[in-house]
Structure 1
Amino acid sequence: MARRQAASAGTSANEAAPPPEKRRRVRIKPEERYREFVSKAVELFAEVGFDAGTRELAQRLDVTQPLLYRYFPSKGDLISAVYKEIYLDRWKPGWSGMIEDESEPLRTRLQHFYEDYTETIFTPEWLRIYMFAGLRGVDINARYVVNVETDLLMPMARAVRRELGLDPDAPIRPEEVELFWTLHGGIFYYGVRKVVYGFACPIGKEQMIANAVAAFLDGAASVMRGFAAEDASAPTAPSTRRRSPGSRR
């Protein structure tokens, strides 16, 4: 009898208990969701490359593809957002000014610039995405190279010209740009070996930069003087400007 009463009392208590509260969905602001999508896309492309698609990204985000398409209508839009996040937003406009600031010796300027620049790019996501983009023909590399040549290598060429007493305002030859790519590419590949391949580099980054800059500047002086001599001895092209009627000949 007592057991029945206890069971009956338990049943009544259960029936009287309020239903468990439904889990409330947390509403995420569109800008926060956008940043989350881009951040996860960076992780995905850095891990597996650009063969990954929006379906895999949606699975990792635990969202539907239609929701993802609301923010990125195509994979190209997603890649552009990743490019902005990794390459444009991390680019420092002051780098070109640092290179051409004559208040410090040239070697010191280049040392400081490359220390700061490599601090920015020597990360797994930066380097791995850059390499995957080159292998798959994604235009991230082509867009970025324009920035490097215009805002880094050409200022370096002008700075070295000033150091050598050459005309910094004369047109920069393609050969000069290629010359500075040898310095830039060598420093870049140190990061690839260390960060992407996981090799144990025998010297630290700062010493590597110092060695690369010193060796480059010592060799670049004679090469750039040779370019200047070639330009000076080249025949001047005749003027193609039209003369107005009655002007002197």
Structure 2
Amino acid sequence: MRAADREQAIIEEAVRFFAEHGFEGQTRELAKRMGITHSAIYRYIPSKEALIERVYEHVYLSRWKTEWADLVADRSRPLEARLVQFYLEYVERIFDYCWVRIFAFSGLKSFDLPSRYLTIVRAQIILPACAELRAELGLPSPDEIAVSERETELFWGLHGRIFYLAIRRYVYGTTIPENLEPIVRDAVRSFRGGVGPVLKDILAEAAKASPRGA
């Protein structure tokens, strides 16, 4: 096997191994599972930490679509339609046994993979969606009133509602609907239908509390 192919095989098997055992799983056991020597792993990847980083790139970064940021910001369509399309594509990409379990394991053991990944979600989806919702409702832009944690939590609530379906399936082992499209549409529709008055109150309170609103 060529060196590049062997390295890729190690990464792909490591993904499955860590999804089953978490990052506490020993590389010695990974080597045994692959039928290779322990030292063979480190011939291609210098350390366990480097292997975990390659797993992160393989499982998370490779599935993230940079086009999603443009989708959220496309004002030629209603925000509800944009969010539905994003979450339908997102579900298709991340509703995966290895993706979800590695995410859960790494969070429990204080690896920084989830925080790094969620930083991307926040920057490319959550914050732009906040700005788009304000624009659609005719409310002050983030340049006028900064986006607060309270405001971003509105969108994290929607994001978490959809992601929890994956947790139920791949972590808790419970059944969820096979067809997730209507579930996603219901989640986004109910969010968009109710978020307006809440956001208006948040911004009104922020305006009063700011020096300019005093």
So what's the TM-score if we normalise by structure 1? 0.80
Q: How does 1:11-26 map to 2 (within 5 A)?
A: none
2:82 corresponds in structure 1 to: 109
For structure 2, the 5+ residue unaligned runs are none
CA RMSD of superposed structures (Å): 1.6
Which shifted more, 190-199 or 162-171?
Answer: 190-199
Indicate how the Cα distance of structure 1 residues 202 and 39 shifts in structure 2: closer, same or farther if over 3 A, else same.
Answer: closer
Q: Which moved more, 1:86-95 or 1:61-70?
A: 61-70
Q: What is residue 18 of structure 2 aligned with on the other side?
A: 45
Which residue does the alignment assign to 1:153?
A: 126
Give matches, 1:117-132, under 5 Å. 117-132=90-105
The total of aligned residue pairs comes to: 210
Matched, 1:166 2:143: no
For normalisation by structure 2, the TM-score amounts to 0.92
The residue type paired with residue 62 of structure 1 is G
Tell me by how many angstroms 1:202 deviates: 4.9
**Structure 1 gap segments, 5+ residues each:** 1-27, 238-249
Per the TM alignment, residue 219 of structure 1 is displaced from its structure 2 partner at its CA by 2.0
Q: Within 2, Cα distance between the matches of 1:140 and 1:210?
A: 29
Matched, 1:71 2:44: yes
The partner residue of 2:186 within 205, 208, 211 is: 211
Deviations 1:24-79 (A, max 9, x none): xxxx2221111111001001011121121110111122222222112222211110
Q: Which has the higher helix share?
A: 2
**CA distance in 1: counterparts of 2:210 and 2:107, whole angstroms:** 40
Pair 235,119 (structure 1): closer, same or farther in 2 beyond 3 Å: closer
Larger Rg: 1
Corresponding residue number in structure 2 for 1:194: 169
| Candidates 127, 130, 136, aligned match of 2:109 | 136
- Name the SS of the counterpart of 1:89 in structure 2: helix
Percent identity, aligned pairs only? Answer: 40
Letter in 2 for 1:99: V
